[in-house]
Amino acid sequence: MILHVDMDAFFASIEQAINPRLKDKPLIVGSRGNKMHTVVCAASYAAKALGIYSGMPSREAFARCPNLEFVEADQSKYIWTSEQIFELLKSFNFPLNYASIDEFQMDLGAHENPVSLGNELRKQIYADFNITASVGIAKNWLLAKLASKLNKPDGLALINDENFEAVLRKTSLDELCGMGGKTGQVFIAQGLKTCWDLYLNLPAFFDNNPSKFDENPGKSSELPKSVSHSYTLPKVQINHQVIQAWIRLLAEMVGTRLRQQNLVSATVHLWLNGPEIGNFGAQKTYPNQATNDGFEIYQRASKVMARLAAKNPRIRAIGVTCSSLSLSVYQPLFSEEIRREGLIKALDRINNRFGEGSIYPAITSFTR
Ligand SMILES: [Mg+2]
């Protein structure tokens, strides 16, 4: 069985956990500090209930709800929390993968009571971080991810042989992971509407989804082949700055994981998915300049992105992968904790580097 954990309104929930005054209020997290001139990058559930969603211009959000609470995004907080949750989940001793900054997948094998484990895990996340998670359990990662959405927020759902048909019948095709782009359009053009329609036409789609596990935490003596992070945006995004900001965030996350494992990488691979471009993937190798610096990884990924022929394509999902890994020959100068203490200073430097126009001024590189 695969267990998929999806944090609820992750960025907004973290801000509410840190500042209880914001709890249960309509809140947006803006990609930058000027609250009338930014984009909503996360909305709390109270804000979602008012029709406010990620990707919406903040001005529009305030027009809908003048009393909206506003917080500027602080990526370092979200990365840190994500990594702490990963560490907590690791302690349950099952193979574990990052699916995105706020999603995690566990391979439970033939666990006897996955539902009680899922609830235990949700309880533990809430106890430690004061934020809620939704859990989905099913025979493969595709269905487990789908299950995690069924009782959101703060819920758990299991898809098994008994409810498989009922769940697929009531789930429209575009709610299924991977159906946002060209593939989904092809099926919809063929008249398929629900996941059940897809199952009747292509049952293998739901069977042959092996889990994506490539890391076994038990075998740390072997070097991993790659380290990657990806993210599916809540909506297709055309704003180039927002897309760059997400690439930056994912690059920072990859860099952090490389440093934790004392690895450096010579190859950066960028994967993008969007309605016009379908799946785009390309990489660049720097044979003698292996790195684990998030900002450097970001710059290399940006060079890969420049190869995209389409000008201003709409983007739905982004992935950054570092491969050609080797052990770093340099001892890290500072422990990760000391690096994090330098965050505030790093913030100032980043602000200087990017200037006022920076869409995510709070993105920090822990190595600078
Ligand atoms: Mg989530």
The residues spanned by each domain of the chain are 2-8+96-207, 10-76, 227-337
Architecture of the domain whose range is 227-337: 2-Layer Sandwich (3.30)
Q: How far is the CA of 353 from the centre of ligand 1 (A)?
A: 31
The residue-averaged pLDDT of 193-206 equals 86
The residue-averaged pLDDT of 212-225 equals 53
The residue type at 301: A
Instruction: Kindly compute the dihedral angle of the four CA atoms of residues 308, 314, 318, 324, in this order, to the nearest 10 degrees.
Output: 0
pLDDT of 286 reads 93
Q: Which of 9-23, 197-211, 303-317 has the highest mean pLDDT?
A: 9-23
**Cis peptide bond N-terminal to 114, omega within 30:** no
Q: Give pLDDT tens digits for 85-139.
A: 999 999 999 999 888 889 999 999 999 999 999 999 999 999 999 999 999 999 9
Q: How far is the CA of 69 from the centre of ligand 1 (A)?
A: 20
CB atoms within 10 A of CB 187: 20
Model confidence at 62, pLDDT cuts 50, 70, 90, reads very high
Q: Helix, strand or coil for residue 172?
A: strand
User: Cβ distance 180 to 232 under 8 Å?
Assistant: yes
The environment of the single-atom ion ligand 1, i.e. residues with CB closer than 5 A, is 6-7, 102
Give the per-residue SS3 of 311-363.
CCCCEEEEEEEEEEEEECCCCCCCCHHHHHHCHHHHHHHHHHHHCCCCCCCCC
**CATH top class, domain 2-8+96-207:** alpha beta
Model confidence at 222, pLDDT cuts 50, 70, 90, reads low
Q: What CATH number is given for 10-76 in this structure?
A: 3.40.1170.60
Dist. CA 13–CA 23, nearest whole Å: 8
Please state, for a pLDDT cut of 90, what percent of the chain lies above it. Answer: 48
Nearest by Cα to 246 from 366, 79, 5, 134: 79
106: Cβ contacts below 8 Å, ≥ 6 apart:
2, 3, 4, 5, 89, 92, 94, 95, 96, 97
**How buried is residue 324: exposed, middle or buried, by Cβ count under 10 Å (0-12/13-18/19+)?**
middle
pLDDT of 338 reads 47
Q: How far is the CA of 9 from the centre of ligand 1 (A)?
A: 6
Does residue 103 have an active-site annotation? yes
- How far is Cα of residue 38 from the mean position of the Cα atoms in its chain? 21
Q: Give pLDDT tens digits for 8-29.
A: 999 999 999 989 899 999 999 9
The H-or-E segment that residue 207 falls in is: helix 204-207
pLDDT of 181 reads 65
Dist. CA 227–CA 358, nearest whole Å: 27
Q: How far is the CA of 98 from the centre of ligand 1 (A)?
A: 12
Model confidence at 174, pLDDT cuts 50, 70, 90, reads confident
pLDDT of 233 reads 82
pLDDT of 171 reads 93
Q: How far is the CA of 48 from the centre of ligand 1 (A)?
A: 13
Which residue among 69, 103, 252, 296 is the active-site one? Answer: 103
